[in-house]
Amino acid sequence: MGFDLVLFGGTGDLAWRKLMPALFQAFRHGTLPAGGRIIAVARDTLSDEQYRRLMYERFDKVELAKRPTPDEFARFAQLLHYLRMDLSQPQDYAQLAALLQARQADTVVMYVATAPSLFTTVCEQIAAAGLNGPATRVVLEKPLGHDLASNQAINATLRRVLREDQVFRIDHYLGKPSVQNLFAMRFGNALFEPLWRRETIANIEITIAEDLGVETRGAFYDQTGALRDMIQNHALQLLCAIGMEPPINASANAIRDEKLKVLQSLKPWDEATIGQNVIRGQYAAGMVRGQPVPGYREEKGVAPDSNTETFVALRTEIMNWRWAGVPFYLRTGKRLAERSAQIMVHFRPVPHHIFKTPVDAANRLVIHLQPQDGLDLRLLAQGATQAQSVETILTPVSLNLDFAQRFGTERVGAYERLLLDVIAGRLNLFVRSDEQEEAWRWVEPILEHWRRDPTGPRPYAAGSWGPSAASAMIARDGFCWSEEV
């Protein structure tokens, strides 16, 4: 009978900011499978009706397009139920088991949206209560671990109680429409793939920039930092999507096999390359949108002498025949000049210029991830008003695909897409354990280097694009960041 989705951490930030709006959008679009039930789990003492009212109030804080009308929410609310649980108490899992077994749903999704320290406990208790049968799928949010050893420990526990195909390690960047269309562009069209190699591409930059600070997450962030929070997962997954070889088919394992090869091919770190090619920073006080904002060390929950990085820029290479010698620049940070996430593919210039062109006029492909999503191909063309007798001058033009304009209401958000994939059992857009461990293995030398480095992160003014050392790093190769063009 349909599906049961159990949401551990059902009153938390992730539940009301991302998961409930995504589930509601699927309900509104008619794509949420019929016969479903959503069971929120948390320590608060609430009735079903009280939980529904709480969610209705929280919907006022999500973006306007995702808010339900009173009539829409009344219908959606019939799917919502609440169960009080202390996740450390085995008897509470017995209550959950009784609730689920009474209905015998075709699929049971356990979404663990809790503190990472509870992942192992929850999975072990699910198994102890007999809830790890073949119909069960467990979704785990990042970060899965704090380093390689803790990630391997979590995965070892998961392997004891669940099959690999029951574990959905979610990275919502893989559910973004732009990333989906990156796969479609590369592997569904004949145009780009022959150009997708070192002979025609000069460099690739991946930027995930936020203009916000740590907000209410200071205590969590101070134990995490930008490398763990963004590079180890989101940025490396984007790099894999860009760098992977065409898979033999569209199955989950074929795709994940090729992503794993990229991670295994990343240039390894040593002390010298980390010092040259990894820049860490921490925001100081500054101005954002004309308003003064405090520095990171003045944020609530942050230690006054914290050396946690809020910015990372690094240079790496994929050491294989397709990409040898092509630098990949990854960058992420908080309190930067704007909120923007994009992949910029810089093509090499023509080998011989016969037209007059602007400086740095090579072609570029821009994959926009946020705040808008779309594809932008930047070319050179001759203006229609140019006199035929004068020297031909080429000017930049763009071929733009704006997903909001092209697909409109048909567009599916990242969490909506991924939640529907979990219910359907599709693993293509989720991360396998060996991928995750390889990513941790690659970043671990950086973490170890920073532990020994007494200098700490470089300060940068809030509202800027980070430390100047990040620009100097890319300039050594003769390139610059996209906003500096």
Catalytic residue list: 234
Measuring CA to CA, how many Å separate 112 from each of 105, 117, 280, 290, 382? Answer: 19, 11, 31, 39, 55
- Helix and strand tally (H, E) in the chain? 17, 17
Q: Which of 409, 430, 433 is nearest to 175 (CA)?
A: 430
Dist. CA 180–CA 250, nearest whole Å: 12
Q: Which of 116, 111, 127 is nearest to 150 (CA)?
A: 116
Q: Coil, helix or strand for 390?
A: coil
Measuring CA to CA, how many Å separate 223 from each of 110, 309, 368? Answer: 26, 10, 30
State both tokens at 97: 């088991």
Q: Coil, helix or strand for 476?
A: coil
b/e code 190-222 from CB counts within 10 Å (16+ = b): eebeeebebeebbbbbbbbbbbebbeebbeebb
Dist. CA 53–CA 73, nearest whole Å: 10
Contact partners, residue 98, CB within 8 Å, separation at least 6: none
Dist. CA 450–CA 463, nearest whole Å: 25
Handedness of CA 127, 129, 132, 137 (dihedral sign): negative
Strands (E) located in 210-300: 278-284, 286-288, 291-293
Are 276 and 449 within 8 A, CB to CB?
Answer: no
Q: Which of 217, 442, 172 is nearest to 308 (CA)?
A: 217
Dist. CA 306–CA 297, nearest whole Å: 6
Alpha carbons within 13 angstroms on the beta-carbon side of residue 266 total 27
